[in-house]
Amino acid sequence: MRQIVLDTETTGLSAEAGDRIIEIGCVELVARKLTGNNKHFYLNPERDSHEDALKVHGISNEFLRDKPRFGAVAEELMAYLAGAEIIIHNAAFDVGFLNKELDLAGHPAFTRQVGKVTDTLMMAKEMYPGKRNSLDALCDRLGVDNSGRTLHGALLDAELLADVYINLTRGQDALLIDEADAHAVSGIVTRIDLRQFTLPVLLASDQEAAAHEDVLLQLDKASGGKTVWRQITFSAVA
């Protein structure tokens, strides 16, 4: 499935209160690789941005005056997104605005036209509970260079989120190459039957076993005899 990383900028925080989308950025991934087949729109929202929103995105009302309205690009946008998995950070916010814009333009709801929506904010909250999981925080945590992000911009943020998503879903990349990556590298996936190998069993030496037992005794003493392995041993004996 194609994956499209999507971000929007808006005039404010509430689509229901009349705020509108002013920018949409989309970055395409195929087999977890950037393709360069991206989409980017600036839009005339037919209203001014709130002062706080201007401080976030820096896109002036004057700049947007001659830009197309959402209805003029809706078919092109949704044809590009059709059937794809859409990856969004805090998806409820962007999808809420997209649904409102689509409704105003006489188009079906967003989720009816795409394959699925994946929320990287929800993913991050599960992986890093109790921590900050903003896009900037994830870039810092995952080693994604966001030094060029002085203001929010839909296309730049979508590009950063693509890198963040790849890192969030990479798994044990030091040990394994997933099937999609293997296809992208060579076009061939080789499956190895591990049953053909006989793996040696290396037992601990008497010295190593004694050192291990000493550590267990120290832990048992520190816990007042409440270590789990002692309780299991005593239950088994009883």
29: tokens are 């991934």
Residue 223 CB partners (closer than 8 Å, separation 6+): none
152 catalytically annotated: yes
What six digits make up the tokens of 36? 């360069």
DSSP string spanning 104-163?
HTT---GGGTSSEEEEHHHHHHHHSTTS--SHHHHHHHHT---TT-SS--HHHHHHHHHH
Half-sphere exposure of 33 (CA within 13 A, CB side): 10
| Residue indicated by tokens 């190998």 | 197
Question: What are the structure tokens assigned to 196, written together?
Answer: 């053909």
Strand partners, 23: 9, 42
Catalytic one among 50, 107, 152, 212? 152
Could you tell me the two tokens for 80? 């590009």
**Rounded to an integer, what distance in angstroms lies between the CA atom of residue 161 and that of residue 123?**
12
Query: By C-alpha distance, which of 155, 163, 120, 172 is closest to 139?
Result: 163
The residues annotated with a catalytic role in the active site are: 152
